[in-house]
Amino acid sequence: MLSQLGHITVGVVDSIMVGKLGVNQLAAVSLSSSIFGFILLFCIGLSFGITPLIASSNHNQKYISRIFFHGLVMNILFSIFLIFLVFFFKKYLHYLGQDYDVLNYTFPYLDLICLSLIPLILFQTFKQFIEGLGFTKPAMYISIFSNIINIILNFILIFGLFGFPRLEIIGAGYATLISRIIMFILILIYCILSKKFSKYIFSIKLLFHTKSFKKIFNIGFPSGLQYIFEVGAFSVATIMIGTFGAKALAAHQIALNLASISYMTISGISSSAMISLGYFYGKNDHEELRKSGHSNFYLALILMSVFALIFIFCRNLLPQLYITDSIVIEIASTLLIIAGLFQIPDGIQAVGLGVLRGIRDTKVPTFITFVCYWIFAIPLSYYLGFILELGVVGIWVSLFFALTFAAISHFIRFNYLTNFIKL
Residue 306's contacts (CB-CB under 8 Å, 6 or more residues apart) are none
For the chain, the domains span 2-420
Residues 229-245 pLDDT 10s: 887 788 788 888 888 88
Contact (Cβ atoms closer than 8 angstroms) between residue 66 and residue 286: no
* Amino acid letter for position 139: A
Of 141-155, 211-225, 311-325, the range with the lowest mean pLDDT is 211-225
Residues 22-41 pLDDT 10s: 888 888 887 887 788 778 88
Residues 46-75 pLDDT 10s: 888 888 888 877 778 888 999 999 999 999
Q: Is the pLDDT of residue 403 over 60?
A: yes
Q: Across 124-209, where does the E strand assignment appear?
A: none
Of 138-147, 230-239, 296-305, 340-349, the range with the lowest mean pLDDT is 230-239
Q: What's residue 335's pLDDT? A: 94
Global pTM reads: 0.76
Distance CA 123, CA 4 (A): 12
Q: CA nearest 258: which of 316, 190, 339, 362? A: 339
Q: How far, CA to CA in Å, does 354 sit from each of 44, 56, 360?
A: 13, 15, 10
In this prediction, residue 105 has a pLDDT band, given cuts at 50, 70 and 90, of: confident
Residues 354-369 pLDDT 10s: 999 888 898 999 999 9
